[in-house]
Structure 1
Amino acid sequence: MLFVAIIGLAMTAVAVVLVARRVLWLHRLATVGPPAPERVEYAKAHLAEEIKTQLVEVFGQRKLLKWTPSGVAHFFVMWAFFILLTVYIEAYGALIQGAITGTPDFHIPLVGTWPVLGFLQDFIAVAALCGLIVFTVIRLRNSPAKLGRRSRFSGSHLGGAWLVLFMIFNVLWTMFLFRGAAINTGNFPYAGGAFASEATAAVLHPLGEGVNEVLEPVGLLLHIGVMLVFAVIVVHSKHLHIATAPLNVAFSRRPDGLGALPEMRSNGKVLDFEEADPDTDQFGRGTIADTTWKGFLDFYTCTECGRCQSQCPAWNTDKPLSPKMLILDQRDHAFAVAPYLTAAKEEREKLPEDALALLEKPLVGEDGVIHPDVLWSCTNCGACVEQCPVDIEHIDHIIDMRRYQVMIESSFPSEAGVMLKNLENKGNPWGMSEMKRAEWIEELDFEVPVVDGKLDPDIEYLFWVGCAGALEDRAKKTTKAVAELLHIAGVKFAVLGPMEACTGDPARRLGMEFLYNMLAQQNIETLNEAGVKKIVATCPHCFNTLANEYPQLGGCYEVVHHTQLLAKLVEEGKLTPITPIEEKITYHDPCFLGRHNKVYTQPRDIMAKVPGVRTQEMHRCKERGFCCGAGGARMWMEERIGKRINAERVDEALTTDPDRVSTACPFCLVMLGDAISEKKNSGQAKESLEVVDVAQLLIKSVKGESTPTS
């Protein structure tokens, strides 16, 4: 046994050195970029929340379990890693004790002979074996060779995935081999409970005592050796997420990487645009060296599972953006330039020209790491972030690259340039006069107060109308419906009228942070001077910006979406839907209301209270809802590649055979309305089909109108 112990400990020493070298290399690579102190500060300040998140997301596998078969399989395989650590304690104990006493009958002190532990070890190992079978079936059924880009594994490093499954299998069968032999030689610590090991012992028993005495140390060395080889493979593969996933979850943005975008930072500090210098300060991400350690942690943590890809509206409409490949392409490039990136400054100066060219390779460009069509296909819908089981923040990567392209390279779709000029000159994306913002009020039969100076004390809410709600004809119907409903319910509200400007959401999501900053500070000054405390908004983009992003600039208000307020008024009896609407309605979840802010129930509650309404969910709804195509400033960019996203969404809506499609966002209203019009023109949709806001349905029932308010 002494010889066996020497071999085992020598293998361990070699593996530890190899793993340590790789871990130090990964750390050195991740820290070449700018710091991200805000991540550490948040984690420290919200320690209790972070502990809960670890329990729910990492140990509880909340996101993975949403995909039931693969989620359950992963749950058992993951817990096998934790529980079977006790088997390795026993294995090393047997190795050392066998060398000292000649008898490898080691057991863990206190709990080492408890049959429950033996049962638990065998149970989780068998469950993990079943999990491997499930993974194998899933990978075979979803093979890219068979499904092409419809496979969520398309683009993943498939060989590495199969190798990992094979190594886990090796860990499990070698465990049963040495435990079964140990039972037959009398060196097993458990008198019962370890049912699978006992079954293995029964198979090995006919081989005789001598063979089992040989199989025990051989199996022991195999089990330890496989684990050590696996450890080396892990730190060189996608399975690195075993170690980095808890860290990535701990330092991710709460609650789930959605909501407010991170502020622009340079050298770890929030960028002050009044003092910023493009020559010395960092404006977004131009090369891989501009990536923070949190960005590298995202690279290391990607499991290549493709859940993000399978839910991405761009990928599903044949566009080049795959959130998974966006991360993997950056990771592969980072690994390729790592020897140069981690070199000392004086060493870099001596590098050959081809190495320097690779090091300075732009992240975005025709010959860059990421093609521009990939970058500008993103709608910021958040489906990728919502589905990622390890909290990778794909949108943050995209926005960082967009910021550099827009503010430093001035490289972005030309149509978006028109939108930016309109925002800068007129305060709205269409370039219309600010005086038109209050024209919708003239179409009502009651007075709507327009703020002039301080808000009157009896005004409860400022109604943030938004650019679309004030200027776009279809969205104005929602604005008037909400105003009427608030008036009927006796809610005192006022509007800013011409003093209201775009919240800056389109500029920020495009990457023009400077213009966003200017618009946001202007609006915050207006709101603060008026003494505004509570805001109701009909546009989810305005709602998200006012509620989540303005606090970064000191604008803190109580903000609700109109569906939240209307649902509350209906619940309190201040609004009573009485007239039946005998229609089948399917509801489309706006991304910035649903995934970004978790408002799913209130719009549905409103429709449920309207007599006669029959609701039918689309197969992709709520947190898995499909985008309309307007987010991420895509509302103002042409969609030239693949199928139009709004057409895909309307095709899904048509499968429910609805009389009407409802939503709660002016952008969705426009995008879905355009797609429905095209379907009508081609005879694919009935002429009576239209898209309306939930508020329009409610006012129709409350007032007893035959048609929605127009």
Structure 2
Amino acid sequence: MLNVVLGISTVVIGLAAAVMFGLAVAKIVRTVRLGRPVEPERKGPFGQRLTTVVIETLGHTRMLKWRWIGVAHWFIMVSFPALVFTVIEAQGEVFDPKFTLPLIADSTIYGLFIEVIAAASLVGIVALLVYRLLNRRRGRSSRFANSRMWTAYYVESYILGLLLAIFVIRGFKVAMDDFPFPVWATPVSHAVGSVLSGNPDVALPGIVITAAFKLIISYAFFIVLALVLTMGVGWHRFTAPINIYFKRNADGAPSLGPAKPMMDASGTKPLDFEEADPDVDPFGAAKITDFSWKGLLDFTTCTECGRCQTQCPAWNTGKPLSPKKVVMDLRDHTYATAPHLLNGTTAESENVPQDVLALLERPLVGTDGAGVIDAEELWACTNCGACVEECPVDIEHIDHILDMRRHQVMVESDFPTEANSLLKNLEEKGNPWGMAANKRMEWISELDFEVPVAEDSLPEGTEYLFWVGCAGSLEDRGKKTTKAIAELLHTAGVKFAVLGQESCTGDPARRLGMEYVFQMMAEQNIETLNEIGAYRIVASCPHCFNTLGREYPELGGKYEVIHHTQLLAQLVESGKLTPVNPVEENITYHDPCFLGRHNKVYTPPREIMEKVPGVKTQEMHRCKERGFCCGAGGARMWMEERTGKRINTERVDEALTTNPDTISTGCPYCQVMLGDAVNEKKAKGEVKDTVEVIDVSQLLVRSVRKPEAATSDAGPAETPAAESPDAKNSDDA
């Protein structure tokens, strides 16, 4: 009688769970479809995108960065579909405790497969539970800070209960001598069986009750999911593969590099400001429906794991910004407003209850709790990309932050006051510092060789246009790097020319959210570059490198762009440049975010340092993919840090743990930010006066020069000239 009652009850609960889960899936689909269309290229090619999904899910490529946690999670992930067989088996066992699956019931391979998956998952889930309990005590430094812990504990408890039930049922069958699998294939089951009763009066009802327990908690899991649509830690099992499929890069690369362009209302082409209609075309994100449906899927998929948060430079230095919390808050707001929007209720509708009206009219960005996201959170982002790099389900945090910035800047005119000067300088002077255009040429007069300047066209035989950039031509430390690069190219016999009067690429304006100024500057530069025929460009600034090579193509500017460290590494490798003078220094290298994470250029700068005699290198704890930002990206270089510790100070503190004589980098922004932090510490007596921050090119030029010339910042080179090798547009990643 017991088995009949439990059997019928579990079937009823199972059917209810199936119906509720189906309705929940339909509601999520309808909610996600509230978003705007995505760029057409996200939908294909099918084969390549499907391959990426398989590699990232079955290969667990993102999760395995976290070593044992990734391994534990892999077994748990595999157990979710694999152990469905045991749930089906339990539905039969609750009616008949001696029920077995047909065909595979006596297969040792099946028995071994379930044993391994269940045992490894059991160890994994216990380890993750303990890790979560211990880690959350760390407060703000815990990656679980801001997470809703009950949802994670619920899911983990369900998995634990399911796995224990599997072994209890198997154990009872072992005790009754009704288990077809040998000890070597199922050792855990036999160990459990050795402590359970083999008396049929105990074992048979024990199997029925345990099977019913397994079914009830399994069906309850789907019911809870249906009731809590914002439980990313549960829903990601179903949404993550879809989210990965529609990521920006079909080849599987993290969604970094170029900023997502503003699209028109159709979502099929970039927004043309001359033709745009503000009443139709969204200028950034002012409300949930201004995000693309991929954005709403991002919010739905967040697992609240906190990996983005642990790597965020803003969060790590006491700022309020947590990429995880931003996504969670947007998710909660999405699913709070979606039922009303799906019913056709808007803020303009008649007879809208006050609480619903307040919800629908709540701005995405505000202060003192008025907005879904606090303005201080929004403007703390450096666009470093650490969040996107770490996210195991490919959420595109930067795109959503940038969309909200665009609305705040272009529609609300509400942004940090310091950025006013930045935009004014860009529009009036063509550079962020507001310096006169003729200042861009001054560094050339400090060299002892001629640098060709392209006016109407490139000089005959020019191999590269050297895009010096604003920092490289106007900022004193940047000019030293520029002169070092020019000297090295001259020494190697590379025929290059400069524009001299180029304007900023527009990167600071775009990352601030002022897309209009970016497009204006980009179109002007593209016209100039196309007129002079400059299609091979070497850039010293990673921001220029990223903008020229990855963002200008969307506006018609297609160039082969190489970073100076890539070109210099090629010249050293080919023998065109030969480091001979020893540089007896301990050096640690700082990875610029827009060179490293955004464009996967990690190797060339390190190859250059390895070739310099006498140099001893030591990596910082956070380097390469997990490198820590200098604090300048996202237009933050022109905004004050008023909360928490300065990001550049945090990075220098980390660099100093390697006891360096020199901190090297490959970015003028990083050189300024890290240099300022070092100088501040020198003034306080916290670091020796000899510590300096230099570009890799400056290190190389010291070794390539003859000894008598080595003390000069940009003296003439005497190494015989040689031909330039072919440049490549990207690193080996």
Residue 195 of structure 2 is aligned to residue 203 of structure 1? yes
Q: Give the deviation of 1:140 after TM superposition.
A: 2.2
**Stretches of structure 2 lacking an aligned partner (at least 5 in a row):** 715-733
Q: Give the deviation of 1:189 after TM superposition.
A: 5.8
Map 1:544-583 → 2, pairs under 5 A = 544-583=546-585
Residue 708 of structure 2 is aligned to residue 709 of structure 1? no
Higher mean alpha-carbon deviation, 437-446 vs 317-326, is at 437-446
Map 1:140-155 → 2, pairs under 5 A = 140-143=133-136, 146-155=137-146
Higher mean alpha-carbon deviation, 232-241 vs 662-671, is at 232-241
- What does residue 353 of structure 1 align with? 354
Q: Distance in 2 between matches of 1:457 and 1:2?
A: 91
Q: Give the deviation of 1:92 after TM superposition.
A: 4.0
SS in 2 for 1:205: coil
Residue 359 of structure 2 is aligned to residue 370 of structure 1? no
Q: Give the deviation of 1:103 after TM superposition.
A: 7.6
Q: Number of paired residues?
A: 697
- What does residue 422 of structure 1 align with? 425
Contact 1:321–1:375 (Cα < 8 Å) also in 2:
yes
Map 1:300-315 → 2, pairs under 5 A = 300-315=300-315
Q: Residue 114 of structure 1: which of 90, 100, 107 is its match?
A: 107
Q: Give the deviation of 1:190 after TM superposition.
A: 4.1
Q: CA distance change for structure 1 residues 185 and 13 in 2, over 3 Å: closer, same or farther?
A: farther
Q: Distance in 2 between matches of 1:89 and 1:528?
A: 66
- What does residue 723 of structure 2 align with? none
Contact 1:107–1:189 (Cα < 8 Å) also in 2:
no
- What does residue 76 of structure 1 align with? 75
Q: Distance in 2 between matches of 1:677 and 1:708?
A: 22
CA deviations on 1:113-172 (whole Å, 9 max, x unpaired) are 3212211211111111111221122112212xx322111111110121111111111111
Contact 2:382–2:632 (Cα < 8 Å) also in 1:
yes
Q: Residue 631 of structure 2: which of 629, 632, 647 is its match?
A: 629
Q: Distance in 1 between matches of 2:174 and 2:642?
A: 67
Q: Residue 246 of structure 1: which of 241, 244, 249 is its match?
A: 241
Residue 64 of structure 2 is aligned to residue 61 of structure 1? no
- What does residue 165 of structure 1 align with? 156
Q: Distance in 2 between matches of 1:497 and 1:305?
A: 48
Residue 210 of structure 2 is aligned to residue 212 of structure 1? no
- What does residue 86 of structure 1 align with? 85
Contact 1:69–1:134 (Cα < 8 Å) also in 2:
no
- What does residue 295 of structure 1 align with? 295
- What does residue 262 of structure 2 align with? 264
Report the residue type matching 1:242 in the other structure: R
Q: Residue 443 of structure 1: which of 435, 441, 446 is its match?
A: 446
Q: Give the deviation of 1:8 after TM superposition.
A: 2.8
SS in 2 for 1:431: coil
CA deviations on 1:176-217 (whole Å, 9 max, x unpaired) are 2223334455765646623322333332234x0122221222
Map 1:168-567 → 2, pairs under 5 A = 168-184=159-175, 188=179, 190=181, 193-206=185-198, 208-235=199-226, 236=228, 237-238=231-232, 239-254=234-249, 255-267=253-265, 268-269=267-268, 270-345=270-345, 348-366=349-367, 367-498=370-501, 500-567=502-569
SS in 1 for 2:373: coil
SS in 2 for 1:283: coil
- What does residue 139 of structure 1 align with? 132
Q: Give the deviation of 1:504 after TM superposition.
A: 0.7
Q: Distance in 2 between matches of 1:103 and 1:657?
A: 68
- What does residue 29 of structure 2 align with? 27
Q: Distance in 1 between matches of 2:42 and 2:712?
A: 47
Contact 2:264–2:276 (Cα < 8 Å) also in 1:
no
Contact 1:19–1:232 (Cα < 8 Å) also in 2:
yes
Q: Give the deviation of 1:37 after TM superposition.
A: 4.6
- What does residue 44 of structure 1 align with? 44
Q: Percent identity?
A: 55
Report the residue type matching 2:541 in the other structure: C
Contact 2:321–2:378 (Cα < 8 Å) also in 1:
yes
Q: Give the deviation of 1:72 after TM superposition.
A: 1.7
Q: CA distance change for structure 1 residues 357 and 708 in 2, over 3 Å: closer, same or farther?
A: farther
Q: Give the deviation of 1:561 after TM superposition.
A: 0.4
Map 1:10-21 → 2, pairs under 5 A = 10-21=12-23
SS in 2 for 1:142: helix
SS in 2 for 1:175: helix
SS in 2 for 1:278: coil
Q: Give the deviation of 1:491 after TM superposition.
A: 0.8
Q: Distance in 2 between matches of 1:708 and 1:141?
A: 55
Contact 2:463–2:496 (Cα < 8 Å) also in 1:
yes
Q: Distance in 1 between matches of 2:558 and 2:680?
A: 42
Q: Distance in 2 between matches of 1:436 and 1:70?
A: 54
Report the residue type matching 1:300 in the other structure: T
Contact 1:106–1:189 (Cα < 8 Å) also in 2:
no
Map 1:655-694 → 2, pairs under 5 A = 655-694=657-696
Q: CA distance change for structure 1 residues 108 and 471 in 2, over 3 Å: closer, same or farther?
A: farther
**Stretches of structure 1 lacking an aligned partner (at least 5 in a row):** none
Q: Distance in 2 between matches of 1:173 and 1:301?
A: 28
Structure 1 or 2: more helix by fraction: 1
SS in 2 for 1:303: coil
Report the residue type matching 2:55 in the other structure: V
Q: Give the deviation of 1:339 after TM superposition.
A: 2.7
Q: TM-score, normalised by structure 1?
A: 0.95
Q: Give the deviation of 1:530 after TM superposition.
A: 1.4
SS in 2 for 1:203: coil
Q: Distance in 1 between matches of 2:712 and 2:335?
A: 58
Report the residue type matching 2:372 in the other structure: V
SS in 2 for 1:692: strand
